[in-house]
Structure 1
Amino acid sequence: MELYIDAQPLLGPRTGIARYVECLSSVLARDEQINLSLAFNRLLKGVKEPEIHQYALATGASIVNNVYPYKVLRRLFKPNLLYHVPYDLFSKKADIFHGTNFVYTPVVKGKTIITIHDLAYMRFPETTSQRIYSHHSKWVPYSARQCDHIIADSLQTKQDIIELLKIEESKIDVIPLAADNRFKVIDDFNVKLILEKYDLPKDYILFVGTLEPRKNLTGLLQAYSALRRNSVVDTKLVIVGTKGWKFSPIFQLIQDLALQEDVIFTGFIADEDLPAIYNGARIFTMPSIYEGFGLPILEAMQCGIPVLGSNVSSLPEIIGDNGLLLQPNDTKAWAEAMYRLLTDHETHATFSNLSIQRAENFTWEKTALETMNIYQKVLSR
């Protein structure tokens, strides 16, 4: 099978989509039935040739590159999404082109599958930047209609695609993601070294994700403030992630709540250090108002960290009964749940074990096998 994967997300921020491309392509590249090519546009601003070849060497895949500048592609073709499309594809036939980042590629000769990770821009447009909203509003519905098949990360996303994009159910399959194998329980010595590197205490409350409205960090801060006011707990809150859209209210709220000494922002954390950051936490929190999947939840669970998540969108699918699910804006409930996990050692140990058990249900080998089955199903039509 000649398989082309849109690998452009690998060259951007290390978000969930980049991890999806990295882990999926790494497993698929080991399949003897597949001749895998990673599609990059090397002429995009900021793209570094060594990074492209690094991913190819890591997976054993070949590379296809774009020889036309982005601006030229935008003038020549109808969709403005062709920054993902390497020029090599115009003259080569792929059995499957897998658009890993929402979009359909109309110039590819062969079957096209896209992965839609979420429809947050439709469910909660007020939490989405104008740039993303305009882009997705125009091209995600178009891509969903024109492609041969759609992969959704969760049942929530599948239902959103059916309801909001009016796509027939038979065109959509759900394939959950997984945490990379690097996320695991590691020894205290290695954790200590990384915590010292970032000047972090041990046993903190952890959040990992982009600083943007959909992640509901303001809600988490309100709950954390209530926890500190109403108990003797002095546990720090550590927030890992880059600044996204409309992040300034988060910092203003910290000032208003006088939490400057208690909340630690690390900014970007290198991939190789992130497992230790999870392991150094006492509990992990994801108070999002919407998630298409919520990969950091699984990363934390695989490290044996008890998790608290919102009881909305896809998070109940991921957490199941193996963590605590709460209304995203119930300040009192979040404060009480954090206090319980921080102070009740027996409860903490129970949910730590439950986290590991739950994470075992999600592996990239399983995700890749199910994805391969979709490729075969589409090719057989």
Structure 2
Amino acid sequence: MRIALNARILQAPRTGIGQYLIELIAALRADPRIELELFHGWGWSREVPRAALPGYSRWAAWAKQVPGAYRIRRALDQRRFERGAHRRATELYHEPSLWPLDFAGPMVMTLHDLTHLHYPHTQPRDRLAEIRRRIGPALERAQCILTDSQFVADEISRHYGVAAARLQVAPLGYAERFHPRPAHQLRESLAVLGLQPGAYLLCVGTLEPRKNLSQVLRAYALLPAATRARFPLVVAGMAGWRGEDFAVDLQRALASGQVRLLGYQHDRALAELLAGARMLLFPSLYEGFGLPVLEAMASGVPVVLAPRAALPEVAGEAGVYIEPGDDRSWCEAVLRLIEDPAEWQARRACGLQRAQHFSWKRCATHTIAAYRKALEH
């Protein structure tokens, strides 16, 4: 199968969709039946860049200043994509994000979530307008639609009327770097950050309202002073949209000296941060999957999370579920996992077992099934 995969998203810093694409490409290439060509906007290649490509920040600044920037870039991409796909005798096109380019043959798209419906205020105005204009026709045109979870598949059927037969659930996996690590392997790298293995709480995610960081800040403030002194709260994630919504809460917390904002973390640094945490706090209000939850479980780290969207589908019985807004219960859950070693150990063991149900090989198998379905359509 000669597959064209749109890899333009890899020009951005690697958050969830970027990690999905990197790991899926590697898993697909392990199958000898798949010939994969990557389209990256200005051209094609077989190679995957190791980090965000230069110029992404310039594009972001340009997009904010130029009306219709998304349409202009899309028109340029479309022209280059058509020429390249024709030369490569592409049999099928896979779009891993929201709006596919035009392609004369079969097309598969991955729809990770419906954030644009539930939280439209978290999207730049021009981008939201483009999503709304293109998402309906794209879903009609796709022979098969991949989703990360059954939750999102059900949402797509409900909101867009897509038949279940055209949907293929392909749960995500976790990279090999996410695994339990003994304290002595982590001390040096964590010491640079002023942290000790097993002696901090961790939040991971882009800083935007949907991630509900304020929930954790409020619950953390309720912890006894002695506990906060022993267990600082570490927040890892790049700035997102509408960060001003919780900027006051965050600045107040940072001023205390017990909350630390690390910003975006690259692959190895994030894996070490997760492995060294006492627990992951993940209060997100909406996720199509929730990759940090799986990565934490694979690292042997218990997770306290909101029972929302696809998160229970990922964490299963391993998760400690607390409703958003219940600050006292969030605080009490954190205290239990700090003060009760047996509870912590039980959650850790359950998470490690749960993580074994997920792999990028399995994700690739479901993806290839979608390719076959599209080619037979």
TM-score by length of 1: 0.87
Letter of the 2:184 counterpart: F
1:232, distance to aligned residue in structure 2 (A) = 4.3
SS, match of residue 150 in structure 1? strand
> Where do 1:48-197 residues align within 5 Å?
55=48, 74=71, 82=78, 85=81, 87-106=83-102, 108-197=103-192
Letter of the 1:194 counterpart: S
Please say if 1:358 is aligned against 2:354: yes
CA RMSD of aligned residues (A): 2.7
Moved more, 187-196 or 309-318: 187-196
Matching residue within 235, 247, 250 for 2:243: 247
Structure with the greater relative contact order (CA < 8 A, sep ≥ 6): 1 or 2?
2
Identity %: 29
The residue aligned with 2:10 is 10
1:259, distance to aligned residue in structure 2 (A) = 5.3
Letter of the 1:338 counterpart: V
Letter of the 2:376 counterpart: S
Letter of the 2:129 counterpart: S
The residue aligned with 1:227 is 223
Q: 1:72 to 1:161 in 2, by over 3 A?
A: closer
The residue aligned with 2:308 is 312
CA distance in 2, matches of 1:86, 1:296: 36
Please say if 1:29 is aligned against 2:24: no
Contiguous gaps of at least 5 residues in structure 1: 44-48, 59-69
Higher helix share: 2
- Deviation sequence 1:228-274 (CA, Å, 0-9, x none): 46x74531110001001121343311344675311101112121221
SS, match of residue 97 in structure 1? strand
- Deviation sequence 1:100-144 (CA, Å, 0-9, x none): 1122221x2421000000001102324444344223222222211
Letter of the 1:35 counterpart: E
- Cα pair 1:6 1:98 within 8 Å, conserved: yes
Please say if 1:238 is aligned against 2:231: no
SS, match of residue 193 in structure 1? helix
CA distance in 2, matches of 1:84, 1:315: 38
- Deviation sequence 1:126-170 (CA, Å, 0-9, x none): 444434422322222221111211001111211211122222222
The residue aligned with 2:203 is 207
1:373, distance to aligned residue in structure 2 (A) = 1.4
Q: 1:82 to 1:208 in 2, by over 3 A?
A: farther
Contiguous gaps of at least 5 residues in structure 2: 52-62
Aligned residues: 360
CA distance in 1, matches of 2:69, 2:208: 32
The residue aligned with 1:284 is 280
- Cα pair 2:70 2:130 within 8 Å, conserved: no
